[in-house]
Amino acid sequence: MRHQQGKKTTRKNEQKTPREKNHFIKDPRTKSLASQRKGEKIKMIYNYEENIKEDVKNYIKENYEKEEIKDLDYDDIYDELFLEDTVTGNGSGSYTFSTWQAEENICHNMELAQEAYEYFGYEGVDMSKGAEAVDVTIRCYLLGQVLQDILDELKED
């Protein structure tokens, strides 16, 4: 078979590599789509809600027996998780323990940060304490919104 210059030919059964096709993968850190072109991973918007849901589920499964989960009280577990570093970072003041990572997380989530700060009584986002404090504030804000759904889901299992 003779190849013509400028035209790429492939056999019917030959599979294209990820570089040859428009290939999208899930980035496990951000829980969002990432495009893989020329071997580079392009990180998309950090999904706080999905990450907090996963952290809460993991915390409950690691710290409570299956029988105990059915009896968990929303207020008690909320208070516990509000200060838990593996969920909100509020105990130490940092979830990521990395200013750079916290900046990456909040980068495209400034509207969410504004909502969180308004919810806690501030007029605007307070960047004076750094990106890690903003990241923790967003996590604390979303905790209350996702906790009841997670408790309901775990009690059904």
pLDDT at 41: 54
Six-digit token string for 142: 């979303």
Find, among 72, 92, 76, the residue nearest to 84 by Cα: 92
Widest distance between CA atoms in the chain: 73
pLDDT at 19: 33
pLDDT at 153: 86
If phi > 0 it is left, if psi is from -120 to 50 it is alpha, else beta; for residue 84 that is: beta
pLDDT tens, residue by residue, 56-81: 999 999 999 988 888 889 999 999 99
If phi > 0 it is left, if psi is from -120 to 50 it is alpha, else beta; for residue 53 that is: alpha
Contacts of 43 (CB under 8 A, 6+ apart): 27, 29, 30, 34, 104
pLDDT at 75: 94
pLDDT at 122: 95
Model-wide pTM > 0.95: no
- Measured in degrees and rounded to the nearest 5, phi and psi for residue 84 equal -80, 120
Give the span between the Cα atoms of 29 and 34, in whole angstroms. 11
For residue 40, give the H/E element and its range.
Answer: strand 40-42
Q: CB–CB of 44/32 below 8 Å?
A: yes
In the predicted model, residues of the chain with pLDDT beneath 50 are 1-38
